[in-house]
Homo-oligomer: A and B are copies of this chain.
Amino acid sequence: MHAIGIDIGGTKIAGAIVDQLGNIVASDRVPTPAGDSTLLEDAVVQMIDSLRARAEEEIVAIGVAAAGFVDAAQSTVYYAPNIDWRNEPFREKLEARVGTAVVVDNDANAAGWAEFRFGAGRLVSDMVMLTIGTGVGGAIVAGDRLFRGGFGAGAELGHLRVVPDGLACGCGQRGCIEQYGSGRALLRMANEIADAGGIGQGLARVRSEHGELDGRLVGEQIAAGDAGAIAALRQLGHWLGQAAASLSAVLDPQRFVFGGGVSVAGELLLEPIRAAYLEHLPARGYHPEPDFVIAELVNDAGVVGAADLARVWVAEHAGTPRR
């Protein structure tokens, strides 16, 4: 029961053959053809053919993950910011070209599903994953199933509002947690702290040497224990914990999993999250509480999750005509 997972990112397309235990049997990677959806489709087909040529078992399904909104039927991409797609029937198109069952899903959903099946969420039935990358992605698993929402656009957890009339967000609103809890927010906070002088000279020093701080520089300062960089990370955790408290009132997960580039900070990130969560949890003490852990499948979560979602779809729909 091998399946192929494809993860279409902004700069590269990653693909892999994944077995039923989540192991990667073979993998591939090419640059994302910029701004041309036909070239992109060709590149995906070519990667599938190339992986299939290396397959040792039958490939039962193909899962594709991409940033954006995908309908609840895992077929049509309403909108994908990295590609020129609006209401694109990608599942149908790709199945016609590759002759195998295809499902399409949101990349954060795929990553969350991979953690649930093979990583940090494998011991629980209900988890929430927050992917702290440039933005804040979300995935919800409830009752052992991926939660997609009525139109497939659910679990956009980065757009939970935490501050009325707050900072402007790329979604067109203001005050979304993405502006307070993402990698981009970390950079903003780190630059502010560096410009404000004071302790944590590491930040201020690299700021004056390199100009605007980027993720690598801030990450190095966190790793080096610079107090300014750690203070920025604490501010992130402060907000993420507050958002998690609201999410608990709605979703009540057994576990929160934090992934994405910023999650390599580990306990330095989790500790302020837990503190803020407990301080802001409604009805604290009247019901069980979740735990907070770091994701395990950092780089491969997208392809592994996409492949497994495809395999699950095939298993559930074996012998069932599509709609």
Contacts and interface: CB of A to CB of B under 8 A. Distances in A.
A223 to B, nearest CB: 16
A157 B250 contact: yes
B201 A81 contact: yes
A193 to B, nearest CB: 5
B227 A199 contact: no
A96 B152 CA distance: 43
B149 A142 contact: yes
B282 A173 contact: yes
A268 B197 CA distance: 26
A11 interface: no
B286 A156 contact: no
A176 interface: yes
B156 A282 contact: yes
Taking each of A142, A199, A255, which has the highest tally of chain B beta carbons within 10 Å of its own beta carbon?
A199
A204 interface: yes
A218 to B, nearest CB: 14
Nearest to A197: B170
A196 B172 CA distance: 9
Contacts of A164: 162-163, 242
What is the copy number of this chain in the assembly?
4
A204 to B, nearest CB: 7
Given A156-B250, A196-B179, A272 B282 contact: no
A234 B173 CA distance: 10
A188 to B, nearest CB: 9
A53 to B, nearest CB: 34
B172 A149 contact: no
Contacts of A140: 250
A66 B279 CA distance: 27
Given A279-B238, A285-B227, A170 B153 contact: no
Contacts of A192: 167-168
Interface string A179-214: 100001000010011101111110010000000000
A69 interface: yes
Interface in A279-302: 279-288, 290
B149 A252 contact: yes
A313 to B, nearest CB: 14
Contact of A199 (B201, B253, B286): B286
A178 B238 CA distance: 22
Given A69-B287, A147-B142, A251-B154, A230 B172 contact: yes
Given A197-B135, A250-B155, A171 B287 contact: no
9 contacts: A148-B252, A149-B251, A150-B290, A160-B249, A161-B246, A172-B200, A172-B282, A172-B283, A198-B283
Given A170-B199, A172-B284, 13 more contacts: A78-B286, A81-B198, A142-B150, A152-B252, A153-B252, A156-B283, A157-B250, A160-B246, A168-B192, A170-B198, A172-B283, A173-B281, A250-B250
List of 10 A-B pairs having minimum Cβ-Cβ separation, nearest first: A170-B198, A149-B252, A172-B231, A126-B150, A154-B252, A168-B192, A150-B254, A159-B282, A171-B282, A159-B249
